[in-house]
Amino acid sequence: MGTRRISREQALQALFYMDMHRDPEEDPVELFCSCFTQDKPAGPFFHRLVDGVRENRETIDAVIEQFSSNWKISRMSCVDRNILRIAVYELLYCADIPPKVSINEAIDVGKRFGTEESGAFINGILDSIRLAMEADKLQRIPKTDE
């Protein structure tokens, strides 16, 4: 398994943790990383994903809700919701990652960590977003530090 897949899976776990434990007294990423003694989170890409989702969560959640028919983000399973957040972050903010790669990775992670329906659910939403981007109805968001 490649380091980017490991980073995505660990980012999912970190974001899941943050969704479940909203303790503002500790840095949740630092606390999460401290729990990995043998298998440290996979470096810069892990932090890019987690920080990117945290910094852009409002925009990401709005896009997910826009393309998920009759599903509020709060009604989605925590696993599916955070897989979608990671993938939508990649789609919107990571021009160096082809959209199909982000979608395929999200589906695979969903099949591993979610329910039997997770892969199809994630695919449906992400493919709709991809189609909107191809039709210029949704644009990538350039990073401010580039």
pLDDT digits (tens, 9 = 90+) for 70-115: 889 999 999 999 999 999 999 999 999 999 999 999 999 999 999 9
- Whether pTM > 0.75 for this model: the answer is yes
Instruction: Tell me the backbone φ, ψ of residue 145, rounded to 5 degrees.
Output: -95, 5
Say how far apart CA 25 and CA 48 lie, in whole Å: 22
User: CB-based burial of residue 143 (10 Å sphere; 0-12 exposed, 13-18 middle, 19+ buried)?
Assistant: exposed
| Residue whose structure tokens are 């990652």 | 97
Cβ proximity of 119 and 107 under 8 Å: yes
Confidence (pLDDT) at 19 = 87
Name residue 71's amino acid.
W
Confidence (pLDDT) at 98 = 96
106 DSSP 8-state letter: H
Confidence (pLDDT) at 43 = 82
Cβ proximity of 80 and 119 under 8 Å: no
Reported as a pLDDT band with limits 50, 70 and 90, residue 146 is very low
CATH topology for the 3-134 domain: N-utilizing Substance Protein B Homolog; Chain A (1.10.940)
Reported as a pLDDT band with limits 50, 70 and 90, residue 1 is low
**Residues 53-82, mean pLDDT to the nearest whole number:** 94
Confidence (pLDDT) at 35 = 74
Confidence (pLDDT) at 36 = 64
Helix, strand, coil percentages (3-state) for the chain, rounded to 5, are 70, 0, 30
Reported as a pLDDT band with limits 50, 70 and 90, residue 117 is very high
Q: What would the two tokens of residue 7 be?
A: 């980073």
Average per-residue pLDDT in the chain?
A: 89
**Residues 58-66, mean pLDDT to the nearest whole number:** 96
Residue 63 has pLDDT above 80, yes or no: yes
